[in-house]
Amino acid sequence: MEFFKNRTFALKGIIVHTPDFDHMEYHENEYVICKDGRSVGIFHELPEEYQEIPVLDFSDKFIIPGMCDMHVHAPQYGFRGLGMLLDCNSEWETWFDRYSFPEESRYADLEYADKAYGRFVDDLLKTTTTTRASIFATIHRPATELLMRKLADAGFSAYVGKLNMDRNSRFGLQETTEETLKETERWLKETETGYGQVKPILTPRYTPTCTDACMEGLQVLSEKYQVPVQSHLSEGLDEIEWVKQLKPGLSCYGEAYDMYDLLGSRQPAVMAHVVHPNEAEYELIKHRNVLVAHCPQSNTNAANGVAPILQMVHDGIRVGLGTDMAGGYNLNLLRTMTDAIQASKLRWCFTERNGDPFAKKNFLTVANAFYLATKGGGSFFGKVGSFEPDYEFDAVVLDDAALADFVERPVQDRFQRILWLYTADTVTAKFIQGTCVYQA
């Protein structure tokens, strides 16, 4: 939009953000100002020095910080909603064999990748509150670069990973150690520049698919190219047992990454799930300042359990939210928020309440979940996820008119209804780093 090319403007509407974990602010029909792609703050009236800037009036619509999807498998988007009845103990491998691996193998074909990634990026742009993401691609370098190009062209800020898999893989998805490291380094060189705010992130799929030699090579590449790392950690009990067999003698699963400096000791790391950390792992991820990508929908679908998210946050562990497409079936982080709240309630019921009808409630609130989806995950990208001064200006405008009933509701009630009843049509506009990338 020509109107916003200078990236200095104001939006007017019902502004919602969470400056801290327990504090949610609602500013009814006020202004949030963007100057050169960064937030100036929220104002009841435009300050004198900003009286002449362009204003886009979204009165009676909600303006929220853009959300960060910290764990999503882009190539799995095509089979979302399938395989939800498979459980992790007896049939989880069947999910990979029946759905995930066959689909991911198709991305060797660039024509297929172009169509599939095109749909993923288009839906991510127009139907979700996501403005930033940490994304798994496949082992295929050309297709991964294609995904990065599409995301950059759409205006997203993201990390995208070419997967490393040199053991325990099928359907043509297993590279030799030499191949996976050679292709990864070529990809790192080719994506150093020219992809806007879309950057590479090293992505060993998880310990069972990566040999020691592969991890040693990634350790070298991480240090050489100064790139962060993403992977899976302690997702299910069966996975943890498998890692114990592959890497005997370790105090925890996390050490399988940490021994190669791939758990935050040198470069930032985001680890998905962390449902079953033992004490050693819990302290390790805290000490390494790892960001945990909480994926409540896929954790439930796979019957893996409920991660101790509230405890993590209170203990100083960084947490964001992930849709985990297609272990999760919904690309909408508002749905992930409600899933996180419900999972947290169940954890409280079965682990803390202990049958006491008068036990103090201790589970995620709407403010908590909103913080995780915005400022929590946003911390991996810098000052992102809030309208506080000097935060990068990512914003999404939501219209709840189609959800309204015949009673005048307070904005808090209206916003909560958006969380549970959100549809793709709710998104009115989206801004990333002060640029309007979408308007309905």
For β-strands 395-398 and 427-432, DSSP reports them as antiparallel
Q: How far is the CA of 13 from the CAs of 3, 5, 61, 179, in angstroms?
A: 18, 21, 6, 52
Q: How far is the CA of 132 from the CAs of 53, 380, 384, 414, 433, in angstroms?
A: 27, 10, 9, 25, 10
First-residue to last-residue Cα distance in the chain:
12
d(CA 309, CA 299): 13
State the residue range of the domain holding 195: 67-378
d(CA 183, CA 143): 12
Asked if residue 391 and residue 291 are part of one domain, the reply reads no
Asked if residue 94 and residue 57 are part of one domain, the reply reads no
Asked if residue 91 and residue 52 are part of one domain, the reply reads no
Asked if residue 322 and residue 401 are part of one domain, the reply reads no
Residue 1: its pLDDT value, please?
A: 45
Asked if residue 247 and residue 396 are part of one domain, the reply reads no
Nearest CA to 22 out of 311, 365, 417, 292 is that of: 365
d(CA 302, CA 85): 8
Q: Who contacts 183 (Cβ-Cβ below 8 Å, separation ≥6)?
A: 139, 141, 162, 175
Q: What is the DSSP letter of 168?
A: S
Residue 355: its pLDDT value, please?
A: 72
Q: How far is the CA of 81 from the CAs of 76, 257, 296, 298, in angstroms?
A: 10, 31, 15, 11
For β-strands 9-20 and 23-35, DSSP reports them as antiparallel
Q: Who contacts 96 (Cβ-Cβ below 8 Å, separation ≥6)?
A: 170
C-alpha dihedral (128, 133, 136, 142), degrees to nearest 10: 90
Count CB neighbours of 50 within 10 A: 17
- Residue 349 maps to which CATH number? 3.20.20.140
153 and 91 Cβ atoms separated by less than 8 Å: no
Domain boundary among 347, 378, 409: 378
Asked if residue 168 and residue 236 are part of one domain, the reply reads yes
Asked if residue 126 and residue 32 are part of one domain, the reply reads no
Domain boundary among 357, 378, 399: 378
Domain boundary among 378, 399, 428: 378
Asked if residue 214 and residue 76 are part of one domain, the reply reads yes
Asked if residue 118 and residue 234 are part of one domain, the reply reads yes
132 and 159 Cβ atoms separated by less than 8 Å: no
Per-residue pLDDT of the chain (440 residues; tens, 9 = 90+): 444 556 899 999 999 999 999 999 999 999 999 999 999 999 999 999 999 999 999 999 999 999 999 999 999 999 999 988 765 444 556 888 889 999 999 999 999 999 999 999 999 999 999 999 999 999 999 999 999 999 999 999 999 999 999 999 988 999 999 999 999 999 999 999 999 999 999 999 999 999 999 999 999 999 999 999 999 999 999 999 999 999 999 999 999 999 999 999 999 999 999 999 999 999 999 999 999 999 999 999 988 999 999 999 999 999 999 999 999 999 999 999 999 999 999 999 888 877 777 677 799 999 999 999 999 999 999 999 999 999 999 999 999 999 999 999 999 999 999 999 999 889 999 999 999 999 99
Scan for tokens 């070298």, then name that residue.
Answer: 220
Asked if residue 71 and residue 58 are part of one domain, the reply reads no
Asked if residue 119 and residue 34 are part of one domain, the reply reads no
298: helix, strand or coil: helix
Give pTM, 2 decimals. Answer: 0.96
Asked if residue 28 and residue 147 are part of one domain, the reply reads no
3-state helix, strand, coil in the chain (%, to 5): 40, 25, 35
104: helix, strand or coil: helix
- Residue 422 maps to which CATH number? 2.30.40.10
Scan for tokens 């350790």, then name that residue.
Answer: 219
d(CA 2, CA 9): 12
Residue 350: its pLDDT value, please?
A: 87
Q: How many domains does the chain fold into?
A: 2
Any idea what the Cα angle at residue 399 is, between residues 389 and 122, rounded to 5°?
Answer: 85
Residue 382: its pLDDT value, please?
A: 98
